[in-house]
Chains A and B, each alone.
Chain A
Amino acid sequence: MSRIIADFKAFGREYLRSKGGLFFTFILPILLIVLFGAMFSSNTSTISVPVQNLDGGEASVSFIDALNKTGVIKVEIIPSDQDFEQYVKDHSLTMAMQIPSNFSANLAQKIADPSAPMATVTLFGDPTKSTYQMAQGAINGAVVAVNFNIAHAQPVMAMQSGTLPNTKDYNYMDFFLPGVIGMTVMSVSLYSMTSICSNYRTKGYFKMLSTTTIRKYEWMTTKFFVYSIMLTASLIVSYVIGVVAFGMTSSLTLLTFAFILAGVFLFIALGMLLGTVIKDEETGMAITNAIGFPMMFLAGSFFPVESFPSFLQGVAAFLPLTYLNNGLRDTMVYGNDMAALGNLAIVLAIGIVIALAASRLMSWKED
């Protein structure tokens, strides 16, 4: 035990004096929370849609007015005497709408004669982009409203938004914070341990340690304790900022802390496993980035896995971070502790398998 305490003190001191370690443990998650919070928590964002009105009639002006009143779209007028395509090119526009010159006439004709062609507007852009889809939805809504108005009809059906029973009114940050916590646990534990293992090997620390009385499991236990304490502190700081700055309502449960410990266990074991095959720090960074970076995104740290294409959802199912993120959301956001326990069991099981492999393969000596 005294050797664990000694190694804990020394390694803890080194960690606290490492600017890189502190940045990735505390500053990076705070930066992500603040940046993403600022981007996604605002309800006042609108989409600018450049519109060229070649018609100029009362109907087209009223339609533009209706678009501005949706609260989603802010119309920016393209002068009618400009060449539409050239204007789009010159201003690097990704989306623009054109109201044709016969819009008012066609509208009047359609009202008088139902068999006449419909008045149309055209939205140009990339239909796969989310901003296009949002603008399309708002414009369609305005078109439907105009049709009802002209037909003197009243809507008979509407959709209401509501919260699920036993859940709170969550915002994006409630979803985002567990992902940031999961990502921080993964990146700090995995990247640090891989780097430490290759660094200790190249600098001969492992050889030196093997000549002392400290055992391998004591050294590993120390790393687990140091990272668990640091990342628990990081979790608390991130949570407080999320609540105070962005009005998060998710909960900090006991299971959340269990996930931190299980996540640290899993990813330091994975770092040690990689450290057994990596001989120098540079290769270590390359391999860890190749594993950690895609995992960060594909495991749903920032966006729901359900929004990914199906083949990527399949990939996510094989990533241990997916279960850490899901479990953290189960307990912090949805209050579903049974599902969280299931994810915790998966994280622990993967961690145990990797830790056993790492302790078997990791040698401080040379062959």
Chain B
Amino acid sequence: MTAAISVEHLSKVYGDIRAVDDISFSVESGQVFSLLGHNGAGKTTTVEILEGLRNPSSGSAQIFGVDVTNGYHKLRKKVGILPQDFEPFQRLKPTETVEYWGELYDLKLSKKEIEDLLASVDLSHRLNVLAQNLSGGEKRKLGIAMAMVNKPELLFLDEPTTGLDPKARRDLWGLITNLKKKGTTIFLTTHYLDEAEVLSDHIVIMNKGRKIAEGSPREIISKHGGKPTVTLCGAGKKGLDELGRQGIEASLQDDDVLVRVADTGEIKDWVAKLAGAGVEVKDMYIKRDTLEDVFLYLINPENQKEVAQ
């Protein structure tokens, strides 16, 4: 795989504030890459540098081998962008919007091409409705159609699902998955960790302008997450005492008994052992740390020293 994006020691400074502080990463072609971080972590500044909208204070950022600071104009026809808080032009219909946006890329799209593009974002039934009358999810889909009008090799989606209802979010996930299948590289920023975990091949987590973790969702969870836990629902104090008598270390949380498994490979054995321990339970399940658990752990100031190591 070749790098679609290559970022080296990138920094952006506003007075005393280091919005982006010496970060480096690369995005391979055809990947879904997610940049994560809480508000003010420096995600949008990083994205906007990559989109040619801001100049970095130091370091370099390249897209397809072209430096974005000086050569973004060479990339315009290869890149599509959906900005944060996107709103379409209120008094244009989706067909008019896509036609207009195509012409701004010097493309003369046929009626069929416009309708096909809108169909690909599931807007076939809303072709001739003024954008101001579209729902939030439909507006975001129209934004993605606009971003795709030039058939980009790289698509930036800055918080594409913020404010959408669960169904609209899932629809957009499907859309992103389809785009990936077609070979489009997708650069995603999002607040929703479940979204990043499901969609991403590679993730960078930022905190206070710095990169604090990088890897696939599985790698990050494996490296920074806690051990899996077998939860015995409703076992209560009685269950805890019974396990104690059998020499099994456990803890009580509300009415549930939690057994932490030291070695992930032994989960199956532990489940069997606990099932035969004679403890009365309503349900039993295994809980692993999610990307969200790991994210919250990583950005917790108390864990910063450990994370840095």
Contacts and interface: CB of A to CB of B under 8 A. Distances in A.
Interface in A1-20: 2-3, 5-7, 9-10, 13-14, 17-18
Contact of B48 (A13, A205, A366): A366
Contact of B87 (A10, A18, A203, A209): A203
A334 to B, nearest CB: 41
B242 to A, nearest CB: 60
Interface in A206-236: 207-214
B274 interface: no
Contacts of B130: 17
A294 interface: no
B182 to A, nearest CB: 21
A305 B102 CA distance: 50
B285 interface: no
Contact of B92 (A13, A213, A366): A13
B210 to A, nearest CB: 21
Nearest to B130: A17
A366 B19 CA distance: 14
Nearest to A6: B103
A367 to B, nearest CB: 7
Contact of B104 (A6, A366, A367): A6
Nearest to A3: B104
Contacts of A2: 103, 106
Contact of A213 (B51, B84, B87, B105): B105
A148 B114 CA distance: 89
B106 A3 contact: yes
B155 to A, nearest CB: 12
A3 B96 CA distance: 14
Interface string B121-159: 000000000100000000000000010000000000000
Contact of B86 (A18, A204, A213): A204
B76 interface: yes
Given A14-B91, A213-B76, A207 B105 contact: no
A12 to B, nearest CB: 11
B81 interface: yes
A212 B79 CA distance: 9
Contact of B105 (A14, A203, A212): A212
B52 interface: yes
A3 B92 contact: no
Interface in A80-122: none
Interface string B96-115: 11001101111000000000
B181 interface: no
Nearest to A208: B83
Contact of A210 (B53, B87, B91): B53
A365 interface: yes
For chain A, what secondary structure do more than half of its interface residues adopt (helix, strand, loop), or is it mixed?
A: helix
B54 interface: yes
Interface string B68-86: 0000000011010101111
Interface string B225-256: 00000000000000000000000000000000
B25 interface: no
Contacts of B77: 213
Nearest to A21: B91
A207 B92 contact: no
Contacts of B2: none
Nearest to A15: B91
Residue among B79, B92, B101, B103 facing the most chain A CB atoms (10 A cut-off): B103
A204 B84 contact: yes
B87 A13 contact: no
B83 to A, nearest CB: 4
A366 B54 contact: yes
Contact of B79 (A3, A6, A211): A211
B103 A18 contact: no
B76 to A, nearest CB: 6
Contacts of A214: 104
B277 to A, nearest CB: 58
Contact of B85 (A5, A9, A13, A204): A204
Interface of A: 2-3, 5-7, 9-10, 13-14, 17-18, 203-205, 207-214, 365-367
Given A6-B100, A7-B104, A365-B52, 11 more contacts: A14-B89, A14-B90, A14-B91, A18-B91, A207-B53, A207-B83, A208-B81, A209-B104, A210-B53, A211-B53, A366-B48
8 contacts: A13-B92, A14-B89, A208-B81, A212-B104, A213-B77, A213-B106, A366-B54, A367-B54
